[in-house]
Each structure stands twice: as structure tokens, then as C-alpha cells.
């Protein structure tokens, strides 16, 4: 993913950028619960759509702490910071700069995690991950 002409870094970043995050409160725990969901990718190319679906799966790994590759603790903490920032925003308000910043960092790190999961065979592995998410 370090090559300047590497299509995979752009593909993964576009796929991850399409994720929408929603926050709900778990009444039993009392803490915010954030879920990543597929945003609008209707106009995106098939490869970017597959990357977006795979990103939803990778976000689940980070949320649960288990997946196809080791989950860095920093990534778990970044996701938690994003969830807390989204939970602190009043309903219906504009996204704060802090939340936007946390989301940008999380998406970059999520793309790196996704790359580590597919780097051995990018096209095949990306399609496998994308198929795990029900349409």
C-alpha cells in the first residue's frame, strides 16, 4: 500500500470513507454503542463497493476485538473516542470538528487494518470479506 500508483490504497480509502456511523445507548451498560454501516455507494465502482462492505466487517472486528487479523489497541481506542464524540453531539446538530477529526483518523486506520487482512491476495480476500455482509 506504499506504492504511489497502488490502486489498493485508494480503493480501500474510498470504501472506508463511505461508512456511516450511528450511536445508540445500551440501556444495560449505559455506554454508547457505535455501529458502522454501509453508506451510499450506488455510484461507486464495484471494487469500491466491495471495499465498503469489507470495511463494515473490519469495523465489526474492531468493535468486538476479534477478526481475521490482530486488532491494534490504538485502533480500538480510536473507535471508542469516535463513539464518545458522536454520543456527545446533540441530536440533529451538525458534526463537530472533533468528531470529524476522530472519524478521519479512524477511517485511515481502518483502511490500514483492512489492507493487512487482504494483502496476501487483495482481490480474492476483498471479495471474501465483502460477501460476509448480508445485502
The domain locations on the chain are 4-131
**Strand, coil or helix: 109:** helix
Helix (H) or strand (E) holding 48: helix 46-64
Q: What is the pLDDT of residue 83?
A: 92
Q: Strands of 1-134 (E only): list them.
A: 19-25, 32-38
Contact 82, 108 (CB under 8 A): no
Q: pLDDT tens-digit profile of 4-63?
A: 457 888 899 999 999 888 888 766 767 778 888 888 777 778 888 899 999 999 999 999
Grid coordinates standing for 9? 490504497
Grid coordinates standing for 28? 444495560
Q: What is the pLDDT of residue 134?
A: 67
Q: pLDDT tens-digit profile of 65-99?
A: 888 899 999 999 999 999 999 988 887 788 889 89
pLDDT for residue 2 is more than 60 = no
Q: How far is CA 114 from CA 4, 43, 94, in A?
A: 18, 22, 29
Instruction: Write the DSSP symbol of residue 133.
Output: S
CA distance 123 to 74: 27
Amino acid at each position: 500500500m506504499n506504492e504511489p500508483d497502488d490502486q489498493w490504497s485508494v480503493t480501500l480509502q474510498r470504501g472506508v470513507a463511505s461508512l456511516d456511523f450511528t450511536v445508540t445507548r445500551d440501556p444495560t451498560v449505559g455506554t454508547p454503542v457505535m455501529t458502522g454501516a454501509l453508506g451510499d455507494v450506488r455510484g461507486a465502482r464495484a471494487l469500491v463497493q466491495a471495499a465498503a462492505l469489507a470495511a463494515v466487517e473490519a469495523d465489526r472486528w474492531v468493535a468486538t476485538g476479534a477478526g481475521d487479523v490482530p486488532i491494534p489497541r490504538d485502533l480500538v481506542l480510536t473507535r471508542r473516542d469516535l463513539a464518545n464524540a458522536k454520543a456527545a453531539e446533540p441530536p440533529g446538530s451538525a458534526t463537530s470538528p472533533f468528531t470529524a477529526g476522530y472519524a478521519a483518523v479512524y477511517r485511515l486506520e481502518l483502511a490500514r487494518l483492512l489492507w493487512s487482512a487482504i494483502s496476501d491476495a487483495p482481490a480474492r480476500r476483498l471479495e471474501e470479506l465483502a460477501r460476509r455482509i448480508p445485502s
